[in-house]
Amino acid sequence: MIALVALRWHLNYNAVQMAAPINLGEFEQLILLAILRLRDDAYGVTIRAELAGRAGRRVAPGALYTTLERLETKGLISSHMSDPTPQRGGRAKRHVAVTAAGTKALRRSMQAYERLLDGLDLLRGVHA
Amino acid sequence: MRDNLVETLFSLLTSADHAEAIAGDLIQERQHRGSRWFWWHAFATAVALWASAVARAPLRTLLVAAGGFALFAVPMVAGVAAVSLFPTLFNALVAWSLLAIIWWGGALWTGASVAALAPTRGMTACVTLVVLGEALLLSLWVAGVPLDLLRVTTGLVYTTAGGAACPLLLGAAVGRRHA
- What is the per-residue DSSP string for chain B? -HHHHHHHHHHTTS-HHHHHHHHHHHHHHHHHH-HHHHHHHHHHHHHHHHHHHHHHSHHHHHHHHHHHHHHHHHHHHHHHHHHHH-TTTS-HHHHHHHHHHHHHHHHHHHHHHHHHHSTTTHHHHHHHHHHHHHHHHHHHHHHT----BTTB-HHHHHHHHHHTHHHHHHHHHHHHHH-
CA distance A87 to chain B (A): 6
Q: Is the pLDDT of residue B40 over 80?
A: yes
Contacts A–B by Cβ distance under 8 A: 74
Structure confidence by residue, pLDDT tens digits, B63-101: 999 999 999 999 999 988 887 877 677 777 788 888 899
3-state secondary structure of A74: coil
Q: How far is CA B74 from CA A89, B11, B35, B67, B138, in A?
A: 44, 29, 42, 12, 22
Higher pLDDT, B91 or B17: B17
CA distance A45 to chain B (A): 6
Residues making up chain B, counted from first to last: 179
Neighbours of B109 (CB within 10 A): 18
- Report residue B170's pLDDT band, with 50, 70 and 90 as the boundaries: very high
Ramachandran area for residue A24 (φ above 0: left; ψ -120 to 50: alpha; else beta): beta
- Report residue B176's pLDDT band, with 50, 70 and 90 as the boundaries: confident
Higher pLDDT, B158 or B22: B22
Domain boundaries, chain B: 2-55, 57-178
Residues in chain B closer than 8 A to A89 (CB atoms): 3, 23-24, 27
Residues making up chain A, counted from first to last: 128
Domains of chain A by start residue, with CATH: 22-119 (1.10.10.10)
pTM above 0.90, yes or no: no
User: ipTM higher than 0.85?
Assistant: no
Q: Report the residue from A62, A89, A91 with minimal CB separation from B47.
A: A62
Structure confidence by residue, pLDDT tens digits, A68-127: 999 999 999 999 999 888 888 899 999 999 999 999 999 999 999 989 988 887 777 666
pLDDT at A30: 97
pLDDT at A52: 96
Query: What residues of chain B have any CB closer than 8 angstroms to a CB in chain A?
Result: 3, 7, 14, 17-18, 20-29, 31, 41, 44-49, 51-52
- Chain-chain contact of B49 with A62 (C-beta, under 8 angstroms): yes
